[in-house]
Every structure is written in C-alpha cells, then in structure tokens.
Amino acid sequence: MSTTTTNPTRPVGDSVKRIDALEKVTGEALFADDLQFGPGLLFGRIVRSPHPHALIKHIDTSRALAMPGVKAVVTGADTPKQIGLYLKDRHIFCRERTRYVGDPVAGVVATSEEIAEAACKLVEVEYEVLEPVLDPLRGMAPDAPLIHPDLGNYEVPNFIFPKAGTNISNHFKIRKGDPDAAWALCDAIVEDEFRVPHVQHVPIEPHVAVAKMDQRGEITLWTSSQSPFAQRNLIAEALGLSQSSVRVIAPFVGGGFGCKAGVTMEALAVVMAQKVPGYAVKLRLTREEEFFTTFVRQGLIARTKIGATADGKIQAMQTEYFWDAGAYTEYGVNITRASGYSSTGPYEIPNVRADSYCVYTNHPVGGAFRGFGMPEIHWGIEQIVDMLAEAIGMDKAEFRLKNCIRTGSIIATGSTMHPVGLVECIKQATAAIHWGTEERASAPHKRRGKGLAIMWKAPAMPPNAGSSASVRFNEDATVTVSVGGQEIGQGAFTVAAQMAAAALGVPYEWVRVEGPIDTQYNPYEWQTVASRLTWSMGNAVMAAAKDARRQVLDLAAEHWGEDVDHLDIKDGMVISYRSEEAMPLKKMVVYGLPKPAGQGWRGGPIIGHGSFMPSYVTGLDPETGQGPRSVVHYTTGCQAVDLEVDTITGQVTILRIAAAFDVGKAINPDQVRAQIEGGAVQGASTALFEGFQLKNGKLANHSFVDYRIATSVDVPFEIIPIIIEVPQDDGPWGARGIGEHSMVPTAPAIANAVADAIGVRVLELPITAEKLYLALEAQADGMPV
C-alpha cells in the first residue's frame, strides 16, 4: 500500500487540441453551438484517476476555482447517491475510492475547453494506492482485494445474484440433467479454455452531451443516446429528482453499437450544469477518452467440456464463464445472465451445467456491445463443437444439423423452442460456399480453408421492458408517427413507417416518423438495445395504427350507416365492399364528417395510441436456471466462411462469407441484408484485429494508430446475405430482430476456417497475422500448435 499526492488530469495528453483543430478551421461546430445554446455556453473537462485502484484521501479544488474563466468545480461530494441500470454500484463522480484508470474524480466548468483543461491540472488529489485486481480469476480468489466492499448493500433486481464479501456481482447457474453421469456415455470428450479480450465500439461520433439547469431546477440534457428514457430515469433517481424534472433530447446517433446505451458520461454533464444554473455545459469526450472511459466489451475466460456418442449426438456440456466486467457492472451483470442461459449455444443438449460469473476487476467498465455477450461465448462454443466433430470423425455441418435446436426442442432453461429455421440456415449458408468441395488456393504459398459457426441470441432485457407509440393524421391524411426508440443507423424509423403504413392502409410515402427523440413529448421506450425495436416497438406502432384505423372505420361506418366489418382502407381511401362507396381520408381524419341535414359534425382529429410489453416471460429458478419461458424469443443463424492464409506472412484473406439468418419476417429485406453485411464486417474486425492491450490496468493502445479496426481493404471479397423466414408468434407480421445477431458467429467461423486451412487452432482472440505466423513457424519445427 502506498500514498501519493498528484495533480492528475485525465491521462490523455493534448487530444482536445487535436480534436478541436477542424472546428477552429471551419468554425461551423462552434457557430452551431452558439445558435442553439447561446454565446454563454460553458465547457466541461474531467479530472480522472491515474490509478486502477486507490482511495481518495483529499481533494483540493481551490487553485482551479481561482483560475480566470473557471465557473465551478464538481466532486463526489456533489453526488452522494449511486447510479446504475441493473446494479446501482457507482457514484457519478468518485467519492471514497477510484476503481479504474479514467474514473471521474472531479469536473471543471469553464468558459472554454482549453481553460477547463488547464484548470483540471490544478485540482490536487491525494490518493492511497491499493492493490488492483487485473484478472477475473484473481478476482475470484478468496484473498483478492475487494473492489466493492459494500456490494451486499447495493440495489439490484431479483434476477441478479451478487455475492456479498466477494468480487462476484452476479452468479448465474444452469443445472439440467446429470452431466456427471452422462460423461460415461460419451465416446469422445473435448475440453479447453477460450479467451476474449476487451474491445471498443469505436463509433465515428464520440460521446457528447450538453446539459442545462434552469432557475426552477428543471434539467434538459441534449445527448447522443440510445437510451433517452433510461437516462432520464437513472439520472433523476441518482440526483433525487422527479423524472418530470429531467428532459432528454436525443438527435440521430453517429454510431452506437451499445456504447451509448444506459448512462456513462451524460450524468457528469448534468451534475456540472447544476453548479451553474441558467447556463448550458458541454462535455465532449476526446477519441482517447472514448476508448477507455465509456463502456467497453467485457473480457472473458471460458472453460468448456463437451462430449458426444460415436453416432454424433451431444450428451453433455459443462461451462464456466469468468467475465472481466471491469470496475462497475451495472450492465455486466445482465450480460453474465444472458450468457448463462444461452451457454449451450443453439444445441439441444440433455445434460448441462453452466456457471457464469460477473467479476469486478480494475479494468475499464464493461457494458453493452453489439451481441451482448453472444459473440464472446460463441467464440468458444463453436470452436469446441468443431473439435468434438473432429474427434468423432463427422462432417462439421452434419454434426451441427444433428444437434442444433429445432421447433419444439427443450433448451438449456427447460423452455420449449418456438418455431425456428436454423436447419435451413445451415443448409443454405454451407451450400453458398460449396461446403464439402475442395477448392484451390490462389497461390502456392497460400492455404485455403472453410469453416462455419451457428448462433442464437435472445433480447436480453428485464421482463417488463415496454414500448409505446402514437399515430396521428394531418389534414391532408399524411401521418406522423411518434416513437421513443432511437434511430442509430439501423433503419428503425424506416421500419416504423412501413408498419404504420401497412396497418393503416396508406402509402408509405405518406408517413413520417418524427425526431429527434424528446422524453418530454415522445412516448416511452425502454431502450434502443437488444435488437428489439422491430419486434417490441413494432408491436406498439402496429397497435397505435390499428387504433387509428379503427377510429376511421367507425366514423365511416356511422356516416354511411354500414357495418364496420364491411369497410377497409386502401391507398388512403375508405372503401365499402358492400355498397362500393369510397371516400378519401383527407380532411375527414381531422375535421370529421357532416351529419345529415346540416345537424352538425361527427368525428374529430384521429390519434391512435399503442403500447406493448411481453407479459409471458417467467422467472428462472436461481439454483437451476430452469423456467417455462426465460426469454421472449431467439433469433438463429449460420455463417460459413471461405478464406486463405498466407503461410509466409500469416495474413488471412476472407474470400467469401455466406450468412443466413431466420428473421421471422423481413419487414425491409434490403435493410436486413445491410445488417447481415455490416455484422459480418464488424465480426471480422473483432476476429482479426481488435483487442485492448492493458498493462497494469492502463490501456496502451488508445488510438487508431495502435488499435486497428477493419477498413475497406479488409472487407471480405464477397458477402452472401441469406434471409430465412419462419414467423415469430409474438412479432409484428412475424418479425424478429437481426441487428446484433449478424456478428455473433463471425469470429468462430473464421477460426474454424483457419484451422481447416493450416491446422492451427487459435483459442484467444484476435486471430492476428503474427499469431498465425508464429504458429506456422512452430508447426514447421515440429512443435505442437
């Protein structure tokens, strides 16, 4: 244990100056700020912990407050209550303890970013450095330092199971059948360990928020957000405010992928704005801060044992997941839960034991990332299934067809599988890359290989996550749809407009979805996460449109004196199949229709309302993980990869990826294909390039110089998107989500293809050229790889 006194600012160099360069050249961004928030706009910067684990002994802000241009300094003394989505385990600003490098200790509000940045260096913080926990296995040890000594007192829902007095913030269990007895039935058993590093979302738009508190104490927050309603609720609770006193306005999002879900830096801006009533405060993260001070994808150590009989039937599976969830696990606890109930992958296995542990470490904070734990667990599942197929000498596609879930299968939680088209996904994806046909490599020093992986994913959410929508007609019969779900580039607004148009009976071109999302005016939506909007928000939009349609038809039926069952709306016209009457929606949907003989009018402005919440999801037994219906549904799919490995350099070239997913019903097939293609590229990026290099809790590769993501030159030569449609019973027109699922199987499919090409099995992501080169060198020297 040691004591240090430092003047730390966030450890990010002069990134602000680099980021500001373009704004200073053009002036456009600052001019836009002046237009919206006025010339009195203030700016915030954050003092961050330089230590992965430390006690805060003393903070002196006097020198910073004395600096000209500084308006306020905020510390943990201003944020006594805790905040968090599934587990309230952190303060907006640190109080007694810091838990990762970058943890916010203080905030400075000033008249410019430069002044705020300089003042951060004048905030003096005295720390007592503590031993950090830098590995989840170390965090599980009985003698590990406790990162959250008060874990047992934190607020948590009844489906999360923290272990007080440990670093385990959730332990989810599956107990199905008798794995111990089943091992004796197996002719082949495979056991191995797989590792997944932390990765970043790297959205093109970094986190940015502007907050303002008026003289009445009412707060407005403008922010790039996937979760405006969740942010309103969580920030209000943490600050002791009514939700009606917090307004969140969220324009289109410049890339999210999960990092802009929940609350990260947004609450910092709000607390700073409370110190300067009447002034707006802008907080913008630099690219460097974006890497490690917002949510990251959690790291994972997965240990799996699986066995099958000689005829290729899987008999048992045993899994332990050790999640490196970081300093705070408000989201990580639910990722742990989702990975636990999905731990078998999309296979029907009679005997299962799974333990999924969410472990606090002094690493960056784990949170939602596209796939929500499923890419991480499928990395191991789909490789060990390949290894088991090899052990019994069965074709890997046939092995999956023999064991994959089908309609009516009993899954790991004891639930019965709904109608599903996974078998067709496997057949079509493998056929698209000519599975079973050996094809020549493009050069003598290259080796060609093929691999596949299958997947499943359910929307990971609380059982009462709701959606709502409204549909209102304008005088000319155009339609305005209001929703609370966010457009983050996935096409949610397009699909909402399509659904409203189809349910109403008007042309799609007549429908407009209003934005930006504003919690003061838009109807409620839980969050734009879990690939749930097409399904959940879609059900709400459909209900609102049907409500408006019913009002129109009731009005027309009364006007014509007809039975409403004989009426319909087609292309913006109300028609009668019985009398063959017809009239346009224009004007009547606002002004109504006249009664006979000038006796007044009937009707009025037509506004439809709809809401949706799944009422049929049941709880799971905390000791066995068994229950009638653990999730709303699963989306399933298969990716098949054809690639080459350069034996001189180790470089992987993906020739083609065939990706087939059962989406229930493709509301917009072009957008579904775009999601499939985008997921394949992002999945390939995390497979081949991405991963944090953490050294003693500090991120070493916090820029695009050292953290590589896939570019156009790395994109597969050919991506073959395949849409399978087996309707979902509770989906609008049978639709299910597809946004996250398309990147889930990519990494293991690539790994399996690499193994097929060169006989090298990579167990830890990423599959870099360097790893393959060294493995090939070892292989040439006769060493095991």
What does the pLDDT read at residue 34?
62
Confidence of residue 224 (pLDDT cuts 50, 70, 90): very high
Residues 6+ apart with CB under 8 A from 439: 448, 642
Q: Which positions ≥6 away from 470 have C-beta within 8 Å?
A: 481, 482, 523, 544, 607, 608, 609, 610
Least confident window among 34-38, 311-315, 446-450? 34-38
CATH of 32-130+207-284, one of 3.90.1170.50, 3.40.50.720, 1.20.1340.10, 3.50.50.60: 3.90.1170.50
Classify residue 737 as left (phi > 0), alpha (psi -120 to 50) or beta. beta
pLDDT at 30: 42
> Of 324, 296, 273, 128, whose CA–CA distance to 690 is shortest?
296
Average pLDDT score over residue span 548-558: 98
Q: How far apart are the first and last CA of the chain?
A: 41
Predicted confidence (pLDDT) per residue in 391-440, tens digit: 999 999 999 999 999 999 999 999 999 999 999 999 999 999 999 999 99
Say what the pLDDT of residue 2 is: 45
Residue 219, SS3? strand
Confidence of residue 36 (pLDDT cuts 50, 70, 90): confident
pLDDT band at residue 784 under the 50/70/90 scheme: confident
DSSP code of residue 742? G
What digits encode the pLDDT tens for the residues 269-284?
A: 999 999 999 999 999 9
Res. 782 pLDDT band, cuts 50 70 90: confident
- Residue whose C-alpha is closest to residue 142's, from 167, 122, 162: 167
Is it the case that residue 556 has pLDDT exceeding 60? yes
Confidence (pLDDT) at 39: 84
Question: Nearest to residue 535, comparing CAs of 446, 457, 630, 604?
Answer: 457
233-278 pLDDT, tens digit per residue, is: 999 999 999 999 999 999 999 999 999 999 999 999 999 999 999 9
Q: What is the pLDDT of residue 785?
A: 73
pLDDT at 314 over 50: yes
Tokens of 91: 């303060």
CA distances from 197 to 50, 362, 691, 695 (A): 22, 15, 5, 13
166-183 pLDDT per residue, tens: 999 999 999 999 999 999
Residue 648, pLDDT above cutoff 60: yes
Q: Do domains 296-461+619-780 and 465-612 have the same CATH topology?
A: yes
Measured from the Cβ of residue 642, the count of other Cβ atoms closer than 10 Å reads 24
* Residue 102 scores a pLDDT above 70: yes
In the numeric block, which tokens belong to residue 433?
């890359």
Region 182-209: what's the mean pLDDT? 97
For residue 401, what are the contacts with CB-CB under 8 A and spacing of at least 6? 423, 426, 427
Phi first, then psi: what are they for 618, rounded to 5°? -105, 160
- 16 pLDDT exceeds 50? no
**Mean pLDDT, rounded, of the chain:** 95
Q: How confident is the model at residue 108 (pLDDT cuts 50, 70, 90)?
A: very high
Residue-wise DSSP of 155-204: ---TT----TTSSEEEEEEEEES-HHHHGGG-SEEEEEEEEE--B----S
CATH classification (class only), 296-461+619-780: alpha beta
Give the domain ranges of the chain.
Answer: 32-130+207-284, 296-461+619-780, 465-612
Confidence of residue 32 (pLDDT cuts 50, 70, 90): low
Helix, strand or coil, per DSSP, at residue 320: strand
E strands in 431-529: 446-457, 467-473, 479-483, 511-513, 517-518
Looking at residue 33, its pLDDT comes to: 67
DSSP output for 341-386: HTTT-SB--SEEEEEEEEEE-SSSPB---TTTTHHHHHHHHHHHHH
DSSP conformation letters of 102-129? T-EEEEEEESSHHHHHHHHTT-EEEEEE
**Helices vs. strands in the chain: H and E counts, helices first:** 19, 34
State yes or no: pLDDT of 38 exceeds 90.
no
The strand pair at 208-213 and 280-284 is best described as: antiparallel
Rg over CA atoms, the chain: 28
Let me know: does 87 contact 329? Beta carbons within 8 Å.
Answer: yes
- Lookup: tokens for 122: 């004048």
609: burial class by Cβ within 10 Å (0-12, 13-18, 19+)?
A: middle
Averaged over 637-646, what is the pLDDT?
98
Residues 2-10 have a mean pLDDT of: 43
Mean pLDDT calculated for residue range 559-570: 97
pLDDT digit string, tens, across residues 482-492: 999 999 999 99
Residue-level pLDDT at 471: 98
Q: Tell me the pLDDT band of 37, cut-offs 50, 70 and 90.
A: confident
Domain 465-612 has CATH 1.10.3720.10: no
Predicted TM-score of the model (pTM)? 0.95
Other Cβ atoms less than 10 A from the Cβ of 616: the count is 9
